[in-house]
Amino acid sequence: MASETSAKRIDMTTGPIGKRMISFAIPVFIGHLFQQLYNTADSIIVGNFVGKQALAAVASSGNLIFMMTGFFMGLCMGAGVIIGRYLGAKDYERMKKAIHTAVAFALCCGLTLSVLGLWLAPKLLVLMKTPENVLPLSITYFRIYFFGSFFSLTYNVCAGIMQAVGDSKNPLRFLIASSITNVVLDLLFVGVFRWGVSGAATATVISQMLSAVLGFRKLIRSEGYYQLHVREIGFDIGRLKEILRQGIPSGINNSIISIANVVVQSNINAFGDDAMAGCGSYAKVEGFIFLPIMALSMAITTFISQNLGAGNHEKALKGSRFGIICAVVSAETLGLILWLTCPWIIPLFNDDPAVVEIGVNQMRTEAFFYFLLAFAHAVSAVMRGAGRAKMPMYTMLLCWCLIRVAYVTVAVQFFPVINTVYWAYPLTWFLSCIIFLAYYLKGDWLHTYDYR
């Protein structure tokens, strides 16, 4: 049967640990690389064709966008953990119900997010002290962007389902198609039609729509236990409770991190449009550092959830060690490379000397500490896969939200220079890593979850 073949093809409970995790992570990495490239293309094209105010509006958008979308993305992550466990336990009936519940839930979340984004984004931009010469451009960009957030969530839940069952290649194909579409439309709308930030946002929405359609169609046409049937999309209360139990801590975790980063961004905004453009350019470059961390974190969560679902505790432990080491080494290697090359990379966005100086200074302040960021996210991925999503939530709340906000609020008063803001990240990464290391070594996460 096709379904049996499919089940064997996507099983991460058998075979060499390294080969399984790396073969899963590579397509995820390449897919997110293309996604980051088209996000970066927005900033490069806008910065060169329109100017640094438009660059400030687009490049500084990441924290606010993630604050609005992060909670809903976390809810979708909960679905992936549950689906992966059912697959590992070969409980295909519950897995099928979880898939259809996850899709129904994501569609509702997407509509909610579109409405909230259109309404809240302008108000939040004012609260973030966005300079008056940048504010109209930022409002235009956000309103168009959030109009398409429905498609973004739809794609993410489809990709999450495929990745949960071990299929990371199809999401890669869809992201490549979406990325190429976005860059072509950016050049057309911004470079040829001169639509400015509205053109960049429109290009992003269309490309997200394409990826959502491709992902949805793939699930419908799939053969095997994870095939999607449109008529069966709806809520199974038992599966919805499980998704929420896993997803709400991850959603809160994403939200509290992004809220803290919005506070940091507000302090950056207070230094003017040069600071917004320079730090925004750095943020786009830093996004490339996060790619291997994200890919390996997804591989870790999927590997841990499937193997604990199958009762393979020792294999789950070995897989967690392998994933953490790979994440730390890859992130730090890329960080050192960017530390050396950033004086040539930042000017790609805008060659204004003030903008370049700020971007380079932030890069050289944070680049040596990316191993801390990687370790924190890798251990978080282990805990999510083990059903312990509350642990990273509490740790991030303490270190990446409360302490980070307190540091920025107080330190800037005594040292009112933008370099003070940069140190908010390495310091809070370090504090969280101490907690994560202690909890990981405790080891009880291996034996405390029963999906039934």
CB 331 within 8 A of CB 368: no
Instruction: Give the domain range for residue 230.
Output: 18-446
**Tens-place pLDDT, residues 87-133:** 878 888 888 999 999 999 889 888 888 888 888 877 877 877 777 77
Residue 9 counted as domain residue:
no
Does residue 450 sit in helix, strand or coil? coil
Q: How far apart are the C-alpha atoms of 101 and 434, rounded to whole Å?
A: 37
Q: How far apart are the C-alpha atoms of 161 and 270, rounded to whole Å?
A: 41
Q: What integer pLDDT is reported at residue 424 of this predicted model?
A: 92
Helix (H) or strand (E) holding 287: helix 273-309
Q: What integer pLDDT is reported at residue 273 of this predicted model?
A: 80
Residue 8 counted as domain residue:
no
Q: What integer pLDDT is reported at residue 450 of this predicted model?
A: 46
User: Which residues touch 429 (CB under 8 Å, ≥6 apart)?
Assistant: 369, 372, 373, 376, 399
Residue 13 counted as domain residue:
no
Residue 243 counted as domain residue:
yes
Domain count, the chain: 1
Angle at 249 between CA 388 and CA 399, to 5 degrees: 90
CB 142 within 8 A of CB 61: yes
Q: What integer pLDDT is reported at residue 308 of this predicted model?
A: 85
User: How many residues would you count in the chain?
Assistant: 452
Answering whether pTM is above 0.75, one says no
Q: What integer pLDDT is reported at residue 9 of this predicted model?
A: 47
Residue 325 counted as domain residue:
yes
Q: What integer pLDDT is reported at residue 7 of this predicted model?
A: 38
Residue 155 counted as domain residue:
yes
Mean model confidence pLDDT for the chain: 84
User: Which residues touch 305 (CB under 8 Å, ≥6 apart)?
Assistant: 80, 81, 84, 85, 88, 164, 384, 385, 386, 387
**Tens-place pLDDT, residues 38-50:** 677 777 787 777 7
Residue 2 counted as domain residue:
no
pLDDT beneath 50, residues of the chain: 1-10, 450-452
Q: What integer pLDDT is reported at residue 72 of this predicted model?
A: 76
Residue 451 counted as domain residue:
no
